[in-house]
Amino acid sequence: MMFESGLYVVATPIGNLADMSQRAIDLLEAAEIVAVEDSRVTGKLLHHLGLKKKMRRYNDHSGEAERESLVAAARGAVVALVSDAGTPLISDPGYKLVRSARAAGVPVYTIPGASAVTAALSICGLPTDRFLFAGFLPNKAKARVETLEELGQVKATLVFYEAGPRLAASLSAIAETYGDREVAVARELTKKFEEVVTGTASELAARYAAQEPKGEIVLIIGPPADGVAYDTGDVDAALREALETMSAAKAAGVIAKRFGLERSDVYARATQLKSQ
């Protein structure tokens, strides 16, 4: 197969090496340079494919000089961009390289394939007609809650990447912020111990607090319920529901954001309801 010179964004397997497409294999065979996150990881894939290729590191720490060098090479040769697993640019810095190539008039092509985001969505059983991928939740508790509050009323399924040691804390924050919305945890996709577990955030927080999970994780949160009316009765009903699982202060923040009200007013009402 012949490939014209340019930058090729090449998806690689997220676990099972048999998921590598034939076109992706042919492209890597034709590539003069393979831009990689970690040469040790991509080196194992290339060895599995029986290929020896010149690799250049391109990751979060790469700067303008590295981008310009790759773009220059792609003017007259096939340059492949890969990530450690899955589709490049999904939660990694490759978009800067793609922007630079397009601005320089260098053709950019896609060799599509595996992505943990779409793989998890396809089997989690939550709505997929609208979804928002938001990368990793912040590591610090306050920033994590602020992010969840910001996204709380987006009428779409929310998708995050997460690490095993942080999963229980993230699920607890989701339970505190969103109440009983349905959640799915997809782990080790396409690998031997692939697992998808669904339930409320509080249920799953207890499960993973008792046993920290291993492997790569996709965390999926169902969308908010439809049909919220903006009147006093509905605010009180939402507050009462939130107070079942949250403190008055936390419930006030969540409900005020949902209804576009002043947090201090909602907090005052929350304390009244809590005392009744």
Span 46-101, pLDDT tens digits: 999 999 999 999 998 899 999 999 999 999 999 999 999 999 999 877 899 999 99
Mean predicted confidence (pLDDT) in 35-48: 96
Closest CA to 101 of 76, 72, 78: 72
* Res. 232 pLDDT band, cuts 50 70 90: low
Is the overall model pTM greater than 0.85, yes or no? no
CA distance 264 to 259: 13
* Res. 238 pLDDT band, cuts 50 70 90: confident
Name every residue whose Cβ is closer than 8 Å to that of residue 273 and which is 6 or more positions away in sequence. 236, 239, 240, 243
Look up residue 107 and give its amino acid: P
Model confidence pLDDT, tens digit, residues 5-37: 999 999 999 999 999 999 999 999 999 999 999
